[in-house]
Amino acid sequence: MCECNKEKYYITTAIAYTSRKPHIGNSYEIVLTDAIARFKRMQGYDVFFLTGTDEHGQKIEDYAKAAGVSPKEYVDKVAGEIRGICDLLNTTYDKFIRTTDDYHEKAVQKIFKKLYDQGDIYKGSYEGLYCVPCESFWTESQLVDGKCPDCGREVKKASEEAYFLRLSKYQKQLEDYIEKNPDFIYPESRKKEMLNNFIRPGLQDLCVSRTSFKWGIPVTFDDKHVIYVWIDALSNYITALGYDTEENSDMYRKYWPADVHIIGKDIVRFHTIYWPIMLMALGEPLPKKVYGHPWLLVGNDKMSKSRGNVIYADGLTKRFGVDAVRYYLLSEIPHAADGSLTYETLIERYNSDLANTIGNLVNRTVAMQKKYFDGVVQSGDVTEEVDEDLKKTALDSVGKVASSMDAFCIADAVEAVVNLAKRSNKYIDETAPWALAKDESKKARLGTVLYNLIESIRFIAVQLQPYMPETAEKIFEQLNCDEKSYESLKSFGALKTGTVVNEPTPLFNRIDAEKMLKEIEEEIAANIPAEEEKPAGVMINIDDFAKVELRVAEVKDCEPIKRAKKLLKLTLDDGSGVPRTVASGIAQWYKPEDLIGKKVVVVANLKPAVLCGVESQGMILAADCAENDVKVVFVDGMPNGAKIR
């Protein structure tokens, strides 16, 4: 199909904030979006896939200062890490925008000036409660337990001169648009949340400039102010295409409006309230859909350095391979509920779905084709009734995958492909090719059975391309097959008779779960304690310190943890009457007998964490005294349970 005749499809991720290297939970979004983009290309769409980085703000200015570098040097490094992870995960973005790109900054300044000139932005002053990590202002009533409702951190009072965007002016227009376009916010639960919790109660005008920091895009007509994150970051979806307030580019006219913005559920408000109102004020079309996807959790917790449960894409792919990580991310997370990542389930899915189901199917089928026919694919014309269900399953899988992808139910689409592999394995059991091979009169039937299997595998490979592109190519290579197009799935039988398959090669080697889990636990133990990184020299106030509960506890028992060479399991008497278990990474410096009977200081209100199978209910205090030398803080002579003040 001529490129000019293809229907366009513009898809975007949220741009990643350049404060820290992204963890695998952040990386889920780029893999999800890539799978959709690949699928749409396979269907014949002219796809433009945008991702990038959000690089301005007070938090970055603070991090750069703490690191002793300029903000630009800081974001250059982190943006490079983010782009490197996108490439590592084999994502096919068409453009990677950075909000420090010159063309973006100039376009944002023009947008701000236009909105100001037409009265949609006005100058005022702001007094309220500000969350630095989220870069958000809140009213007292919006706080949850006195803290930021988005991240749960402390807020501080802020007062400064600022420019504001008139959200209130467009409230009715936005509400009407959402009601008339029921698919605009997806899934339905997100739409109800926006309407009932934010829009209908009344929109407050939005602060869109700051004077308290300098790392941002300057307001051209008032250089005391920098343009605040929402106008800066959200505008990337149009500036990347060449939007200009005076004359738009051909690319912008071709691809805008976006067919879908793929974003995390925590930033739906910004994309379905602030962003549409900005576009309405600019007189530009609104995106067709905003999909607020769920989170990827570790176990039941959101990933966080402070929880010590951060997993990074590079470490995960090094251990399992890129396609296995992509498969897990896409198959394990429902479209409207949070997904969970644990090493146990990842290994289980790897072994069951990839090694046993898909890998084993391909390996033994190609091996049988080589063994019984020297690799030459036979004609498939000696049919029996048992063949029909396999063919139907293959053909039905195409529709199931397509409908699931249209509904952004990616896990369901992946499941349909795996189910075809399961049905193909069942077909092997039903037809018993090894038995047919023993009877020369059934050689033609054997040829048909293997043809059906290889054609089913081809269906699997074609449909795996959006999700596991490297695996799909490896399958095509073993089949020696050029029929890779989506169009070839319209009928069962596109595989050419006479094709000579190549040597069978295992796609996925089974993982020894016990051995790998032990290795992972030892690595985790080696990095204990996993505390959140903080800028050097960070100061805390008395309220922060008061949150830490330090108590005297006596070591009643102590023993090594078999699966972790660096951990000791301590049983403590902290005066509460209930024994407390603590796993501590001090086995290199202390033997159990050195600690029994000693009194230590324990952080008594630390959230429990499971370390190598032991639930650790706190942390004991120790000091780094010299290079590779740690000393536990002993407080003999104090009563058990005494509070350290």
pLDDT at 538: 43
pLDDT at 466: 98
The most distant pair of C-alpha atoms in the chain lies apart, rounded to whole Å, by 91
Which pLDDT band, with edges at 50, 70 and 90, does 297 fall under?
A: confident
Answer left, alpha or beta for residue 201, where phi above 0 means left and psi between -120 and 50 means alpha: alpha
Most confident range, picked from 457-461, 537-541, 632-636: 457-461
Least confident of 5-14, 106-115, 483-492, 622-631: 622-631
Cα gap 573→640, rounded to integer Å: 7
For residue 560, is the peptide bond before it cis, meaning its omega torsion is within 30 degrees of 0? no
Which pLDDT band, with edges at 50, 70 and 90, does 98 fall under?
A: very high
CA angle 592, 594, 600 (to 5 degrees): 95
At 220-235, the pLDDT tens digits run 999 999 999 889 999 9
Q: Residue 290's CB: how many other CB atoms inside 10 A? A: 25
Least confident of 155-159, 221-225, 304-308: 304-308
At 346-401, the pLDDT tens digits run 999 999 999 999 999 999 999 999 999 999 999 989 999 999 999 999 999 999 99
What is the fold of 342-489?
Answer: Isoleucyl-tRNA Synthetase; Domain 1 (1.10.730)
Q: Residue 498's CB: how many other CB atoms inside 10 A? A: 8
Cα gap 234→246, rounded to integer Å: 19
Strand spans (E) along 299-338: 301-302
- 342-489 and 528-644 have identical folds: no
**Contact between 425 and 351 (Cβ < 8 Å):** no
Token duo for residue 154: 């402390």
Cα gap 59→213, rounded to integer Å: 10
- Residue 48 neighbours by CB under 8 Å, 6+ apart: 8, 9, 10, 11, 94, 95, 241, 251, 255
pLDDT at 21: 86
Query: Phi then psi for 138, rounded to 5 degrees?
Result: -140, 155
Q: Give me the amino acid identity at 457.
A: I
pLDDT above 60 for 641: yes
At 27-86, the pLDDT tens digits run 999 999 999 999 999 999 999 999 999 999 999 999 999 999 999 999 999 999 999 999
pLDDT above 90 for 243: yes
pLDDT at 526: 67
pLDDT at 295: 87
Local structure of 442: helix, strand or coil: helix
Q: Residue 130's CB: how many other CB atoms inside 10 A? A: 21
Global pTM? 0.81
User: Which of the two residues, 73 and 530, has the higher pLDDT score?
Assistant: 73
Q: Residue 258's CB: how many other CB atoms inside 10 A? A: 22
CATH of 528-644, one of 2.40.50.140, 3.40.50.1260, 3.30.110.70, 3.30.9.10: 2.40.50.140
pLDDT above 70 for 153: yes
Q: Hey, which residues does 572 pair with through a beta bridge? A: 555, 580
Q: Residue 635's CB: how many other CB atoms inside 10 A? A: 15
- Residue 470 neighbours by CB under 8 Å, 6+ apart: 90, 322, 323
Most confident range, picked from 122-131, 287-296, 623-632: 287-296
**Contact between 96 and 106 (Cβ < 8 Å):** no
At 135-148, the pLDDT tens digits run 777 778 778 888 88
| Among the listed residues 498, 487, 428, the one whose alpha carbon sits nearest the alpha carbon of residue 457 | 428
Strand spans (E) along 275-363: 290-293, 296-298, 301-302, 339-341
Which pLDDT band, with edges at 50, 70 and 90, does 4 fall under?
A: low
pLDDT at 537: 39
Convert 584-606 to b/e letters by CB count within 10 Å (16 or more is b).
bbbbebbeeeebeebbbbbbbee
Cα gap 475→497, rounded to integer Å: 18
| Among the listed residues 257, 277, 282, the one whose alpha carbon sits nearest the alpha carbon of residue 108 | 282
Q: Hey, which residues does 96 pair with through a beta bridge? A: 51
Inter-axis angle of helices 171-180 and 275-282, nearest 10? 110
pLDDT at 336: 72
pLDDT at 536: 37
What ranges do the domains of the chain cover? 342-489, 528-644
Query: Strand 580-584 and strand 614-616: pairing?
Result: unpaired
Q: Give me the amino acid identity at 318.
A: K
pLDDT above 60 for 175: yes
pLDDT at 535: 40
At 580-609, the pLDDT tens digits run 999 888 888 899 999 999 999 999 888 777
Least confident of 122-131, 205-214, 609-618: 609-618
pLDDT above 50 for 504: yes
pLDDT above 80 for 613: no
pLDDT, averaged across the chain: 90
**Contact between 334 and 295 (Cβ < 8 Å):** no
Cα gap 562→626, rounded to integer Å: 28
Q: Residue 170's CB: how many other CB atoms inside 10 A? A: 20
Strand spans (E) along 454-591: 550-561, 564-573, 580-584
Which run of H or of E encompasses 160? strand 156-165
Least confident of 149-153, 155-159, 294-298: 149-153
